[in-house]
Structure 1
């Protein structure tokens, strides 16, 4: 790789869209939440296992179950930019209370979120199905028990109003707010990675002028 290539790659990574890894143990709703983040926020998002997220992601969202496990405690203790989410909130009797208890164990805020409701889209043809009795199994699969209950509670409204309401109660807006609150730290982390890459390129280069010029543009 040439010096020009190294500089170009470092600058591209520094200015790329925010990248997110959604991690956690199985059956916590991590895949559903990752799909919701991709759909709602248009962010590059991957699902990570407990071996750890890819090294070049900006942010990890850790999804826990009804109670944190030892692997969750270890993941939070490992540091890095992380948001902790209590997944499948639509299946919990009191998701906020459970999240608060988990937060005491983990020592960080925990956000209750339903990935299912976060990315739901209601179309006009769904309105009658949501109020049918018994509820069709496919409708339950798409909206969950909580989504069906909320639809019946809200009454006769346009499909787009119900979509907005279900997304609101999903808790996904709190995740968006948490991501925004971490933007300064994430940018600082990108700068650190860029400086490390450019210093390595400078150490390997015969003509270091281009690399040093790029380094001068990044605050130390």
Structure 2
């Protein structure tokens, strides 16, 4: 009888021990599983990933005051170049000058649209038109005459009145100065700007307009 009781107690003890071991193992497994789940997919990791993505987007789209200054200055600067270029079609005596003027218009008109879009997206003021020869008579060019290379109202009036070779000489001389101003403004953007598309456009301006300056110097016989 004593042997039976002893055997029964031993059996119960073994069963309890096995059960406890299984319970502990199950708890340990769940804990490890939870930690493994939280690593790649848990809230802390997900928040970090989200913050990183937001930070990257902000970095790519960030702009600074120099970017705004560049766009607000270059829009009217380009507009005046277009006004000058559009005079060439019925005033120039040179096919080379007419071709150059057409290329200037083709390049700078889309850039105005691009920069206007940036300013609108940033919630910044878009400069209104200054004078537009023929289409908006009486408007004043002096509003932006302080920018590098910008012509004043008298300069534009004299160019509008000129024809033939006189026009060509005035146009080339004025456009060289105008381009040099644009290159200076673009250099400031490259050095101090933050918005990558604006810096890229500035680089394009420097490359294209320096090449056109060399071309105009040759037409003027100065190179």
Q: TM-score, normalised by structure 1?
A: 0.29
Identify, as 1 or 2, the structure richer in strand: 1
Looking at CA atoms only, which structure, 1 or 2, has the larger radius of gyration? 2
Identify, as 1 or 2, the structure richer in helix: 2
